[in-house]
Structure 1
């Protein structure tokens, strides 16, 4: 299995595309992948998410996603 490109060298567009692709296959990996493949999927997801957070430390937080917002619904 290929490790993929270093997330630090991906453009923002490529980073989001890679994350989207991983999220599209996450449930299938959880349910059906061999332990090693699932671990690799998780490792790659963590890598890409960490890079996203590094680039956007002040990302917009949806108030409805906060505890107070959830209670208001």
Structure 2
């Protein structure tokens, strides 16, 4: 990995903190970051999200977040 800590090396608390920071800075990076900064932000966000999903393969999914739930609304 060229930059940053490998997400698989993070503790649970650290992973959640890093994800929170990425989400908090997303709009600012989109609106005001360089193309390179936005690309790097996206790359890191994808890495952290993939690690979160890897750790929780059976995570609870809200039925309202599924296509059938959307149709029911």
Instruction: Quote how far apart the aligned CAs of 1:68 are.
Output: 1.0
Contact 1:3 1:44 in 2 (8 A): no
Distance in 1 between residues matched to 2:53 and 2:14, nearest whole Å:
15
Structure 2 residues without counterparts, runs of 5 or longer: none
1:72 alignment counterpart: 72
Q: How many equivalent pairs are there? A: 72
Partners of 1:3 and 1:70 lie apart in 2 by 39
What RMSD in Å do the two structures reach over aligned CA positions?
A: 1.3
**Equivalent residue of 2:58, what SS?**
coil
Partner of residue 34, structure 1: 34
Q: Deviations over 1:8-64 (max 9, x none)?
A: 110111101100100011111111100111111011101101111111111111000
| In structure 2, distance between residues paired with 1:65 and 1:57 | 17
Stretches of 4+ moved more than 2 A in 1?
none
